[in-house]
Amino acid sequence: MSETTFFLAVDLGATSGRTILGSIENGKLSQREMTRFSNPIIQQGGHFFWDIYALYNEIIRSLKTVAEEGIRLTSIGIDTWGVDFVCIGKDGGILRNPYCYRDPHTEGAMEEYFKLIPKEKVYDKTGIQFMNFNSLFQLATMRRNNDSALEAAEKILFIPDALMYMLTGEAVCEYTILSTSQMLDPRTKRIDSELIGAIGLREEQFGRYVNPSDKVGVLTPEIQKMTGAGPVPVVAVAGHDTGAAVAAVPAQNQNFAYLSCGTWSLLGIETKDAIINEKSFQYNFTNEGGIEGTTRFLKNICGMWLLERCRQEWTDAPADVNQINSDAMTAPAFRSLINPDDPRFANPESMTKAISEFCQETGQPVPQNYKEFARCIFESLALRYRQILDYLHDLAPFPIEKLHVIGGGTYNRHLMQMAADSIGMPVVTGPVEGTAIGNIMLQAKAAGMVDDMFQMRSIIANSIETRTYLPQDTSVWEEPYKRFLAMQN
C-alpha cells in the first residue's frame, strides 16, 4: 500500500449524512465519498427524535468499507448540526434517542427560562441568537417536564461528542459545538455555571473540554474487531458543521462574509473576538466558536428546508431539483415574497399551506404551482441575505467586500446570481462539500501536516474550483426589498 495519509470525515447534516475519505499530497487535497445515507427525523409519541444508533451504525459501515479496501486511516473526525444532545446514564449507557431540535416541546421555552434569568443577561453572558431550540432551552424544557432521561443523566453530550463517545469511550465537550448551546461564555470559553445552575445542572456533566484538532481517543477494541480498522485515533474537529464549513472558506483576507447554504443558511463574518453589544442584541446575532480561537459572528436563516419540504408535497414538479431551479425562472419575478424566518416555517405539517397563508395575510398573490413557490422561496432568501448583510455592514470591524458561499446550495446557480444582484457585491461559490473539507483539514492539522488556518485555506484554494457571480441588475431589487422589509413590521 501507498504511504499516503488518509483521513475519514464523518459529516452529518439534519437530513442526510456522508463519509468522505481525504488525503493531501503535493499541496493539494483529494477526496472521495465512501458512503451516503439519510438521516430521517423519527416521530413517535408526539415528539421528534434522532436515531443515534443508526448514525453510529453508518460510521461502523464506513469504517468496514475503508478497511476492506486496505486503507489505513490516520484519524477520524465527526461534525454534525448544532444544539442537540444525548443523555448518558451512570452505567455509561445512552438513556434514550435524543430529541430533534424541531420538536415542538420547546415552544414558549425561552419565555419560561427568562423568568429564571432575564433575557438581556442571558445574551450578555453568551452572545447567542435567541432560538427556542437552543440547548439551554431544550434542557430547561426537559427539566420543567420532569424528563426521566435528564433526571438520570450522568453526562450530557452533544451529538458529535456522543458519537465520539460511542467510538472511544471518552466523554468530551468540543468547543465549537458547545458554542451553539447558549450555555458558553465566549470570553472564558467555558460553560456558564449560573445559566445551567438555574435548571439544576453542573459543568462537570458535559465532559472534558477539547478544541478543534485535539485528539479524543482511539477506537475501542470492540470497534477495532468489528471493522478491522485498527486503533485509529478519533480527532475533535470543528464538531459544529458550520464551524467546519467556515474553516474551508478559501478566503484571501478577512474582508469577507460567508454563507453556509444548505438546510439552514448561516450568514456571518469571522472575527477575533465576540461582538456583544446593544446592536447585536437588537439584531439577534450569534457568537459561535470557530477554529483557532476565532468567533463566527452570524445569524441563522431558514434555508433549503423550505424547498425540500415543498418538494415532498408537489405532485406536478420534476424529480430533478436542478430542473425545478431552472423552471422557477419562468415564473413571474417578485410576485410573492415571504420572511423565511417566520416561525410558521419551522416545521409545519404543510409547507405549501404555510407559504400560502403568509401570502394571503400580507395581501400578496398565492403561488399556484411549483414554479411560483420555488421562485418565491429563492427571491425571499436572496432578500433575507441582503437584510442580514446590511446588519453586518453596521457591526463588522472591517469592510465586507465579497460573500463566500459554501455548501450544497451553491449548485443552484439561479439563487447565487439572485444573491449577487440582491446584495450588490460579488458572490464566490465553492467548495460544495465545505464541511467535509474543513473536517479533513482539521484532522491534517492534528497530524502535523498543516500549521494554521491560513495554510489550510491556501491548500483548499489550490484544490477546488470556485465560481464568481457579479452583480448584474441591482436596481430591480430595490422595490421588492422595501416590500420585504415592510412585511416584517
User: Is residue 53's pLDDT more than 50?
Assistant: yes
Q: What is the pLDDT of residue 252?
A: 86
* 272 plus 375 within the same structural domain: yes
- The band of 32, judged by pLDDT with boundaries at 50, 70 and 90, is very high
pLDDT digits (tens, 9 = 90+) for 168-217: 999 999 999 999 999 999 999 999 999 999 999 999 999 999 999 999 99
* Burial annotation 438-453 (CB, 10 A radius, 16+ → b, else e): bbbbbbbbbbebbeeb
Does 442 reside within a domain?
no
Other CB atoms within 10 Å distance of the CB of residue 46: 8
Per-residue pLDDT tens over the stretch 130-178: 999 999 999 999 999 999 999 999 999 999 999 999 999 999 999 999 9
End residue of a domain, out of 209, 225, 242:
242
Residue 285's domain comprises 249-430+451-489
| Residues 188, 228 share a domain | yes
Q: How many domains does the chain have?
A: 2
What mean pLDDT comes out for the span 107-132? 97
- The active-site residue out of 241, 327, 341, 421 is 241
pLDDT band at 489 (very low <50, low <70, confident <90, very high): confident
Average pLDDT over residues 59-64: 98
HSE-CB for 300 with a 13 A CA cutoff: 22
Residue range 459-472: average pLDDT?
95
What cell was used for 25? 499530497
pLDDT of 2 reads: 47
Whether the pLDDT of residue 302 is over 60: the answer is: yes
Q: Is residue 66 part of a domain?
A: yes
- Cell numbers describing residue 359: 401570502
Across 134-160, b (16+ Cβ under 10 Å) vs e yields bbbbbbbbbbeeebebbeebebbbbbb
d(CA 316, CA 240): 36
- Centre a 10 Å sphere on the Cβ of residue 342 and count the other Cβ atoms it contains: 15
Cβ partners under 8 Å of residue 339, min gap 6:
358, 380, 384, 484, 487, 488
State the average pLDDT over residues 63-68: 98
Q: Is the pLDDT of residue 4 over 70?
A: yes
Residues 255 and 221 grouped into a single domain: no
pLDDT for the residue numbered 1? 37
pTM summary value: 0.90
**241 noted as active-site residue:** yes
Q: For the segment 6-21, what is each residue's pLDDT rounded down to a tens digit? A: 999 999 999 899 999 9
pLDDT at residue 82 in the model? 97
Residues 102 and 150 in one domain: yes
Residue 312 carries which side chain, given as an amino acid letter? Answer: Q
Maximum distance among all Cα pairs of the chain, rounded to whole angstroms: 66
Fill in the amino acid letter for 101.
Y
Residue that is last in its domain, among 190, 217, 242: 242
Say whether pLDDT at 255 is over 90: yes
pLDDT in tens, 409-457: 999 999 999 999 999 999 999 999 899 999 999 999 999 999 999 999 9
Do residues 163 and 91 lie in contact, with contact meaning Cβ atoms separated by under 8 Å? no
Of 368, 359, 307, nearest in space to 332 by CA: 368
Judge whether 93 lies within some domain.
yes
CATH number of the CATH domain containing 73? 3.30.420.40
d(CA 316, CA 97): 36
Is 359 part of any domain?
Answer: yes
Q: Which residues are CB-neighbours of 349 under 8 A, at least 6 positions away?
A: none
Model pLDDT, residue 433:
87
For residue range 361-409, list pLDDT tens digits in order.
999 999 999 999 999 999 999 999 999 999 999 999 999 999 999 999 9
Predicted pLDDT of residue 244:
96
Average of per-residue pLDDT across 34-45: 97
Q: Tell me what the pLDDT averaged over the chain comes to.
A: 96
